[in-house]
Amino acid sequence: MEKEIQLLNKIYWGTEIGSKALNALLPKVNNPPLRRAIITQINEYDKINSDAKYQISALGKKAKKNLFSTASAIMESKMNSAVNSSPSHIAEMIIKGSNMGIINITKELNRATFCSPTTYNLGKKLVKTEEENVTRIKSFL
């Protein structure tokens, strides 16, 4: 069960960081199609985040916040977009973040040999969502 909680917390953290970092970018985004794509991604993160939190709670635990990583991601988003807020640069930042998410969750999935199908599938759903987001955002490079 500990590996399952670990995977769920990684899913929770990744989606929390992604959602907050993208929300920090939104004020800098003046391109309506890119803005819509970012809002779609935020909504996807929030749904998966809610599912992870629910599953953690169902296992009798409480979702752990990773405040340092979240604050760091928000600051990095704000600093990078302050330097260059072009759609291409913002798209590149988002793609890099999504690729980090894909790598982190895939590593956890490879280690999560004894977790429930529900938890495993939520991790796979996050990876698939990240891959789809990368594909969608590439058109803004």
Kindly report, residue by residue over 52-62, the tens digit of the pLDDT.
Answer: 999 999 999 99
Q: What is residue 70's predicted lDDT score, i.e. its pLDDT? A: 55
Cβ–Cβ under 8 Å, residues 38 and 94? yes
pTM of the model: 0.88
Model confidence pLDDT, tens digit, residues 96-130: 999 999 999 999 999 888 899 999 999 999 999 99
**Straight-line distance from the first to the last Cα atom of the chain, in angstroms, rounded to the nearest whole number:** 42
Query: Cα separation of 48 and 118, whole Å?
Result: 12
Model confidence pLDDT, tens digit, residues 74-88: 556 655 655 678 999
- What beta strand segments (E) does the chain contain? none
- All domains of the chain in start order, with CATH: 2-138 (1.20.1260.10)
